[in-house]
Amino acid sequence: MVTIENLHKKFGKHQVLSGLNLTITEGGIFAVLGPNGSGKTTLIKSILGMVIPNKGNISVLGEDVKKNPDYRHKIDYLPQIANFPSNLKVKELIKMIKDLRKYTNEDERLIKLFKLEPFLDKKLGNLSGGTKQKVNLVLTFMFDSPLIILDEPTTGLDPISLIRLKDLIQTEKAKGKTILITSHIMGFVEEVSDEIVFLLEGKIYFKGTISKLKTQTNQPDFEHAIASILTDNHA
């Protein structure tokens, strides 16, 4: 699905990714974890072609990301901070994204799911953070793409919406899609992900299932397992 070879990225003097190799197979939910500044967002943005690597190759579904932006038709991406042109109405934004990508009527179902009907005629600048995130989710899930990338999907969501999001992720997984998630909420990660990828100092420190992580670190639960990695490495 996604193959990354020897990925290097530097921002100024700051080396963020140094020789990262990662293969993500088709189907399942992968969580990308790591401490702040470990390069999670950089990794995701590299896959999306928003960050240009200094070195290395990335291919998505067999296509080199540098060559043609069309591979992004196969990716649904939920950006971290949902900030949209404030003059646009919700309805118009959805229409616009559809216009830019392709036609779908999946949005109606999602709007109902997240109870966004009353906001459709409001301008995006006047929405609360949580509502914006819901709009963001609608925009992401309305296209039926084989790869879904979610950057901090839980930000600002109320408990009910969070449950709906989880359901949504599971349905998509059931369709055989590959889902890439970053999150700081360990409970959420533990609940939804099949496999985790742990980044540390620009490299993959661990890749595998949560139970494998637990055994490897000798910790009874997930959060402690993560904490132990961090303390071991920074001690």
Q: Which residues bind another protein (CB under 8 A)?
A: 9, 11, 45, 48-52, 69-73, 75, 77, 79, 81-85, 87-88, 96-97, 99-101, 139
In the complex with another protein, which residue's Cβ is closer, 46 or 226? 46
Task: Give the nearest distance from C-beta 147 to another protein in angstroms.
Answer: 12
CB of 105 to another protein, least distance (A): 19
Q: What is the smallest separation between the CB atom of 92 and another protein, expressed in angstroms?
A: 9
When the beta carbons of 132 and 164 are compared against another protein, the nearer one is 132
Which pair of tokens denotes residue 46? 């590299």
Q: Which is nearer to another protein, 63 or 195 (CB)?
A: 63
| Least distance (Å) between residue 153 CB and another protein | 14
Which residue lies nearer to another protein by CB, 75 or 226? 75
Structure tokens that stand for 43 in this block: 């990794």
In the complex, what is the shortest distance from the CB of residue 45 to another protein, in angstroms, rounded to a whole number? 7
32: its two tokens:
């990308």
Nearer to another protein, 92 or 190 (CB): 92
Nearest C-alpha neighbor of 124 from the set 157, 166, 161, 96: 96
